[in-house]
Amino acid sequence: MAQGYEVGPLGYPTGDARPVTGGIAQDFQGGTLVWDSATGAVRRA
């Protein structure tokens, strides 16, 4: 993976993936990733 897994900028996950309006989010040591179910895009929140 281009981000370097746990040594990348996000680090380790700090919780389980959870449903959010329009998709799924997961928190990491360095931020949160959100997957949009309508577009398939993943963004850093």
What pLDDT, in 10s, does the model give residues 3-37? 667 788 899 999 999 999 999 999 999 999 999 99
pLDDT value at position 6? Answer: 76
Strand order in the sheet with 18-20: 18-20, 23-28, 31-36, 42-44
Domain boundaries, the chain: 5-44
pLDDT value at position 3? Answer: 62
Q: Confidence class of residue 2 from pLDDT cuts 50, 70 and 90?
A: low
pLDDT value at position 44? Answer: 96
